[in-house]
Chain A
Amino acid sequence: MTTVDGLAHGLAVALQPSVLIYSLLGAVLGTLVGVLPGIGAMAAITLLLPITYYISSEAALVMLAAVYYGAQYGGAVASILLRLPGTPQSAVTTLDGYPMAQQGRAGVALFTAMISSFAGSMLGIVILVLLAGWLSGLATSFGAADYAAMMVMGLVAASTIGEGRLAKSLAMVVLGVILGCVGTDVNSGAQRFTFGQVQLIDGINLVALAMGLFGLAEIIGNIRKAERDGPPARVSLRELVPTRDDLRRMVAPITRGTALGGFFGALPGTGSTISSFLSYALERRVARQPERFGKGAIEGVAGPEAANNSASITAFVPTLTLGIPGDPIMALMLGALVIHGIQPGPMMLEANPDMFWGLVVSFGIGNLFLLVLNLPLIGIWVSMLRIPFRWLYPAIIIFVCLGVYSVRGSTFDIVMVAAIGAIGYALTQAAFSPALLLLGFVLGPLIETNLRRALLVSRGDPMIFLERPIACGFVIATFALLIYGFVKRSDQGSQASSVAD
């Protein structure tokens, strides 16, 4: 079956009324759970799983997939308006999205996020269709050494995200890495920093960490500020729409973000997270005035949003073509396929072309639904900011607790959120960047696992990082980044001193 035949075939599957309805349902649910702080695609798909027993396998997977990428759209809303990211990817969106909202440009920020998400997804689908074969090879050609080198590069590249002093940025990354060490050591089975708490054996809950560091910390911070003096002025529709200048600024970041997301998304595991952070770091690097970042730069919303949506599309490549799920949500979707007697794996494209192509086409339809659904909602979301703090904040705290509890039904995690919230408040007051802590938390353990695994594979020979071409490429890129950083720093230093002279 050629690609064109496949797409035509997929169109026929995806346009069946029942499949269309489930696609729309998934998109609506995805948006909804994405908007609710802490309740993510995982919780929604878990709840929907039993329903999928009773509908066709195509409809089931189309719906679950729509929830998965729909949640990315919704996640941007809570991140921009309330600084409540449910995932590390949305944490990147808060960096410039939230300042925009505070400057009264919430509508523009949301519009930017939606358009970037849509463009990223659509271009991601094109990448998926044209390069599926190549991308599926990517998953098996990356070994532990390559992952370790890639993530070190990601960490180095992204460490420029934090404003202010390098030492503060590094401190946050390191703290994140240390928090990431909590739990069972994969290599020895030893328990680290669990203090005898069985609840900590699997580590600190990521959602609890994100909710505490950002959302709760923000709420605590705002309690000290005076209650808003009445609701902010009503915004007209005109103010929601980006200016021509805004649109012009978006194009390049969206293109770069999509390319990054499309590539990294196809790697099982961290693709989506690392591509969001890299996209943000890249936009900041190439920007003419990098100092605008962190203060409401539209590029800082457009790039990462395009990246994480494009990544969420290509993340289906290893899942569908190799039967290798990249994250727990993908594993859940594989579970749904198995329930329907479809064995995901290398043979799926041949054995179930309906499923594969139907799903690909449904991505396009689902994203169209999401755009049509979300653009009119922007006005409503923005008006949420008019709710007085005394009503808004207790409601948010309740949703945060619900969301964190929904991850694994643990009350211990709710206590964790409270504690992390207090720490997060202290960090924000001292002008540390919690986004970097989150990045360290996610990447640190992965670097450690892959580094140690690579050394086990090579039986202790560190040359593996230079002998494998992919790893070697990333090592060179990392050093290039470091040297570039130092040169630029000393350049600025000498300029500053010559000015002083």
Chain B
Amino acid sequence: MICCQTRRGAAVAAFLTGCALSSAAMAQDWPAGPVHVFVGFPAGSSPDTIARIVAEPLAEALGQPVVVENRPGAGGVIAVQQMLARGDDSFGININGPLTTAQRLIPDLGYDPVADIAPVGLIATSPLVLAVGADFPADDLAGFIEAAAEPEAISYGSVGEGSGAHLTAELFANAAGVQLFHIPFQSYAEVTTSILGGEIDSGFMAPSAALPQVEAGTMKMLGVTSAEPFAQVPDVPVIAGTAGLPENFRAELWNAFIAPAGTDPAVIERLNAELNTILADEEVRERLLAMGWQAQPGTPDDLAQRIRDDTALWGGVIDTVQAAE
């Protein structure tokens, strides 16, 4: 009996090894043709530039062309749908929205961010900075919160209802115990113009959008939403732990490499390994940083955890916002 069992066990083991081997072998042969990467934003946008920075060395490593497919629309959601629809050797480089908040904001999303997407790896993260005009009365976060003591006294611009800039501002307001007045815009360029024109008081925006104005002396940055000081704007204090805000305050936008669920795990492993090699390259890190993005290599599980955490975090903010309406 024992011998029999062992033999059967050995057969099963051999079979499993065979499977693993053939899967590994497949990943070795993979890809047999061009790899498509669906990007949710138009050419020249930061997700697109990130995708191109990654695609070039990736194509070299895989020995096959990596085609960046721009499918802009619905905040990146269209590109996820198109990736899922196309199937074979289709992947995506996308921002956090379609994977963490889209299911709450778009009723007919057409996919489940958890069940239909296989995370490959995080690429880069970016914090937002709280920016105000140069003649704003306060020079630091404590002063800003004091100025905002009266409900809705201070207005802020975002890049749209439900955007990262909007949700971050609401997260901040909750944590600081103040009520800010939201005025939605469509781009950071519009928010910047409006702050410069004195129409609105403040905005949470991408560091690279605020930086040129700060250098020109027309804007001030009061705080950054990352856990650590951000290399592009090293002098800006982190919001966490400042002016009575919780130590664990953190809000970051990110770009990640994703695959359709059901993609061969060996392929995902291979892609993740290549991605991390690319992100370890000093030149790639510098190019990303120049655009305001911090390279963040990690495992597929790290990304899965990030998606879970952020879905919970932003879901809570959306609950609060919707309850207030």
Contacts and interface: CB of A to CB of B under 8 A. Distances in A.
Contacts of B43: 45-46, 49, 332, 335
Contacts of B185: 186, 453
Interface residues of A, number: 51
B74 A198 contact: yes
A457 B212 contact: no
B296 interface: no
A345 B69 contact: no
Given A46-B42, A325-B189, A409-B69, A456 B183 contact: yes
Interface string A31-57: 000000000000001100110000000
B105 A457 contact: no
B199 interface: yes
Contacts of A459: 152, 181
Contacts of B181: 456, 459
B73 A188 contact: no
B319 interface: no
B44 A199 contact: no
Contacts of B160: 184, 186, 189
Contact of B155 (A143, A347, A348, A457): A457
A201 B74 contact: yes
B216 interface: yes
A384 interface: no
Interface string B89-123: 00000000000000001111110000000000000
Contact of A143 (B189, B199, B290): B199
Contacts of B108: 196, 198
A457 B290 CA distance: 34
Given A339-B49, A408-B70, A140 B197 contact: yes
A338 interface: yes
Given A50-B52, A457-B155, A142 B197 contact: yes
A336 interface: yes
Given A50-B52, A196-B107, A335-B49, A457 B183 contact: yes
Contact of A198 (B81, B183, B186, B197): B81
Interface residues of B, number: 50
A348 B70 CA distance: 30
A146 to B, nearest CB: 9
A197 to B, nearest CB: 8
Contacts of A338: 49, 208, 290-291
A142 to B, nearest CB: 7
A355 B187 CA distance: 25
B77 interface: yes
B110 A198 contact: yes
Contacts of B161: 185-189
Given A49-B43, A186-B161, A198-B106, A408 B71 contact: yes
Contacts of A185: 161
A409 to B, nearest CB: 5
Contact of A345 (B78, B109, B190, B213): B213
A230 interface: no
B162 A189 contact: yes
A334 B195 CA distance: 20
A25 interface: no
B45 A335 contact: yes
A143 B197 contact: yes
A141 interface: yes
Contacts of A341: 290
Contacts of A323: 189, 192, 212-213
Interface string B180-208: 01011111011011101101100000001
Interface in A172-203: 184-189, 191, 196, 198-199, 201-202
A344 B213 CA distance: 10
B49 A186 contact: no
Contacts of B197: 140-143
A456 B74 CA distance: 25
A144 B199 contact: yes
A334 B208 CA distance: 12
Nearest to A50: B52
A202 B73 contact: yes
A37 to B, nearest CB: 21
Contacts of B52: 50
Interface in B235-254: none
A364 interface: no
Contact of A324 (B72, B162, B192, B208): B192
Interface string A125-151: 000000000000001111110000000
Contacts of A50: 52
Contacts of B152: 459
Contacts of B110: 198
Interface of B: 42-45, 49, 52, 69-74, 77-78, 81, 105-110, 152, 155, 160-162, 181, 183-187, 189-190, 192-194, 196-197, 199-200, 208, 211-213, 215-216, 218, 290-291
List 6 tightest A-B contacts by C-beta distance, closest first.
A345-B212, A189-B161, A335-B44, A346-B216, A332-B44, A46-B43
Given A144-B199, A325-B189, 12 more contacts: A49-B43, A185-B161, A198-B74, A198-B77, A201-B106, A268-B193, A324-B189, A328-B42, A333-B44, A345-B215, A408-B42, A408-B72
